[in-house]
Amino acid sequence: MKMKRRKAATVLYYILFVMIPLDFFLIFMVAPTERIMGDVQRIFYLHIALAINSYLGFAGVFIGGILFLRHKNLFWDTVAYTSAEIGVLFSTLVIITGSFWARPVWNVWWTWDPRLVT
């Protein structure tokens, strides 16, 4: 069973190392330039993908936490813990890419507009 998990993890790592450069290539080289915002809009494609992944990470925390409380199996606690790390990482990247997008559009790196921070 552990060997199957290790093989599956290895395959997923190889897929990851192919898909991330492909994603950056498609976003920054292939995607058409938006008429009004120009190249800044391309950051938004990456920003949305990172946001979806952060939500999935926190969904893993919720599911892992519920299953740990139900089954008392440390595997689910580990799933919740690692999902929290993934969620925080992707949330940080969402904030960073959001500020990269905001700089050319709003002429500031971050604005403390109540609509954005509440």
3-state secondary structure the chain: CHHHHHHHHHHHHHHHHHHHHHHHHHHHHHCCCECCCECHHHHHHHHHHHHHHHHHHHHHHHHHHHHHHHHCCHHHHHHHHHHHHHHHHHHHHHHHHHHHHHHHHHCCCCCCCHHHHC
The residue range of the domain holding 74 is 40-118
Q: Is residue 33 part of a domain?
A: no
Whether 95 is in a domain gets the answer: yes
Q: 9-43, pLDDT tens digit by residue? A: 788 788 888 988 998 899 889 988 888 888 888 88
Indicate the pLDDT class of residue 115, thresholds 50, 70 and 90: confident
19 is a domain residue: no
Count of domains in the chain? Answer: 1
pTM confidence score: 0.79
